[in-house]
Structures are given as structure tokens and as C-alpha cells.
Amino acid sequence: MKPERSRSPAILVYLPTVLDEAAPEARRANVPLGWAAPAFDVLQLEDYDWVTVGNAGTTERGVAAATARLGYPVSEQHYFAGFVLRPEDRAQWQSIEASCRQSKARGTDQTFVWALPQVTRDGFTYFELDKDQEDDVRAFDDVTFPLEIGRKAAVNAEFSTQIISLLSGREKRNSGWSDAKLSYDVAPGICSEADVAELLAFFRARRGPAVGFRFADPLDYSSNGMTGQPTANDQMIGTGDGVRTDFALVKQYGAVPDLQQRHITHPRNGSVLVGVDGIAATGWTLEPSGLVRFENPPAAGAVITAGFLFDVPVRFANDRLELNGATFGAGEIDSVILVEVRDQP
């Protein structure tokens, strides 16, 4: 009888050290070709110094370089993300979560978040559904609400403000949201029986409010003013530090010190332009949720700008849709409300 095999041997490579551009011989010395497949069953890769500063572009290049040098397919790789050393830096968990999803997208066999003391200290939780579950409970369809119906929508912008009246008669006001939440009444755009049928079909396909979708705001859909043609210098989305490669698309309203910043998570395909110090940029990709990722970190002090067209992620407000084909022409149709869905960049 053949003996049972023990735990598979693995080699752990810390990418920021062995791929340090300031030490070009580190790769040859610390990752010898004698470690190439099939010397070990698993290649383990770790890069938390890059992850915690938002240098996702270097992570992608580093994983590709290690894979090319040692020859282990991603199905025979493990990836270690994290960790957050200090509790005041807990915002870094967002970058760690993004790196985990990036690892999964590559097809990595196993992805690890570490270490347990830091995870429990900050209450970090990572949810992931298997493919069958995800298909059953998908939260968003990347489709656009019927444009002709949406063009006449009434737009509402709402904040959440707590107002307390003091004994002196003065007020204390606390704004609970940093950005307005939008809603739309699309009933004014229903002008024919064909519109009624199209809306009903769209509502049924989304299972009412269960599944979100894109909506083209008729009054605000561009980085250039509200409806202008985008340019690469419309909106400042960050400043380079020589390390960071990821910059989220944002649109700004107002002026300092009352500037309001809106995250743009659903830019329209093919509309995004990026600039660095006023010059059209190359060497970048548009990642999911409106994230611009540079192959190489922009230089320290470089001003990163972008222009784009965008849609608003929304859902139906109610489980019930009441339509009357006999009265829509008289303007008697009930409101059909769509509400904005907040999501992270």
C-alpha cells in the first residue's frame, strides 16, 4: 500500500524584498532558479508593504515576475495579504480586501488574510460567496435603465441631518451623510403602452428592488460641469507620492472649505480620460468600481486628474409596481421611484 503523502512543501517569497529595484541582485540571490517548479508543490507570495500603501500595480507586476521566474501556475500559488500593524491605520483593511479580490481574480489557489490578532482587534470581516450562491443573490446587473423613459425623470437629492433645538432657541445640526443620496421618479417618462410594457419587463427582470442597475441621470452625468464633454483635466482625483498606483474617480461639487466629493463607481465604458500634471496619461487601466490603476506609481507631487461620463447605481424603491395603461396619457400614472445604491470605490 502506498504511504499517505505528508503536507505539501512550499516556498514563501516576500516580493518587496526580492524585487527591490534598488537591489537588482536580490532576485538572483534570494530566488534561485533551483526553486523553480517542480521543486516545491506550492509557491507562496507575500507583499503587504505594497498593499498597505495602495501600490496594487506593483503587486501585479511582482506576481507576474515571480510566476515567470519560477514557473508555478497560479493554481499552485498561495497569496498572503495584510496586515495592519497599528489600530489607527485600520483603513488599510480596504486595500487588503481589494488585494484579496485581485488574488481571486488571478485564479490563485488559496488566499490568506493575516494575522489573527490584528483581524480580531479591528473587527475585519471578509465575505465571499461561491459562484452558485452569487448567481442566486446577485446584487447588481450592469445594465442601464431604458433611456427614453429615464430622460424625463424628476430628480431628488437628499441629506440626513439631525436638528436639535436648544433651550435658548438655537439649533445644533449634525449631517449624517457626507454626500447626497439621490432618488428619481421616472413616471413622467412613461408616454405610451410600449413604455409601460418595457418598464414592466425591466422591473420583473430585476425582481423589483432585489437587483440594482445603472441609471443615466438626465441632469448630472459628466465630470465637466453637469452634462459637458469630458476632458482629462476635469476633476482632481489625487496627488502622486511615488508609491501609490490606485486613484478612485471622484466628482467634486462646490469650493473649499465646503467642497463635497462624490465617488464615481460606475463610469461609462470608453469615456474615461486621465491626466498627470495636465498631460494626457498612458499606462493605466480602469478597474471595477471606478478605480484608475497605473502600471507605475506617478511621481511624488504629480497632480492626477480625470474626465468621464457616469451612471448612478440604483434600484427600484418598492416591491410593487402599479401601472395603468388606460390612464398614462392623462398623466395619472403613479410615481415610479428609483433610489441610489451606495457602494464603495
pLDDT 10s digits, 45-99: 999 899 988 888 889 889 999 999 999 999 999 999 878 888 888 888 888 888 9
Give me the chain's average pLDDT, please. 86
Task: Give the tens place of pLDDT for each residue, 184-230.
Answer: 999 999 888 888 889 999 999 999 999 999 999 999 999 999 999 99
DSSP per residue over 308-341, as a string? -BB-EEEEES-S-----TTTGGGT-PPP-EEEE-
290 with 249: CB under 8 angstroms?
A: yes
Whether the pLDDT of residue 327 is over 80: the answer is no
Q: What is the pLDDT of residue 8?
A: 60
Q: What is the pLDDT of residue 240?
A: 95
Task: Give the tens place of pLDDT for each residue, 163-196.
Answer: 888 878 888 888 777 678 899 999 999 888 888 8
136-145, 194-203, 310-319 — most confident range: 310-319
DSSP per residue over 171-186, as a string? EEEEE--SS-EEEEE-
**Side-chain half-sphere exposure of 285, counting CA atoms within 13 A:** 7
Residue in this structure with the C-alpha cell 497605473, named with its chain if needed: 294
Q: What is the pLDDT of residue 289?
A: 83
Instruction: Output DSSP code: residue 39.
Output: S
Task: Record the pTM.
Answer: 0.72
Sign of CA dihedral 182, 185, 188, 192: positive
164-168, 265-269, 286-290 — most confident range: 265-269
Whether the pLDDT of residue 235 is over 50: the answer is yes
Band of the pLDDT at 127, cuts 50, 70, 90? low
Q: What is the pLDDT of residue 184?
A: 96
274 with 306: CB under 8 angstroms?
A: yes
Q: What is the pLDDT of residue 344?
A: 55
163 with 231: CB under 8 angstroms?
A: no
Q: What is the pLDDT of residue 137?
A: 47
Q: What are phi and psi of 310, to 5 degrees?
A: -150, 160
Q: For residues 269 and 15, give the distance between their C-alpha atoms in angstroms, rounded to a whole number.
A: 33
Q: What percent of the chain has pLDDT over 70?
A: 90
Whether the pLDDT of residue 301 is over 90: the answer is yes
Of 28-37, 156-165, 264-273, 318-327, give the lowest mean pLDDT range: 318-327
**pLDDT, average across residues 334-338:** 90
Strand, coil or helix: 293: strand
Q: Which helix (H) or strand (E) holds 165?
A: strand 161-165
Q: Which helix (H) or strand (E) holds 58?
A: helix 56-70
Band of the pLDDT at 238, cuts 50, 70, 90? very high
Q: What is the pLDDT of residue 336?
A: 93
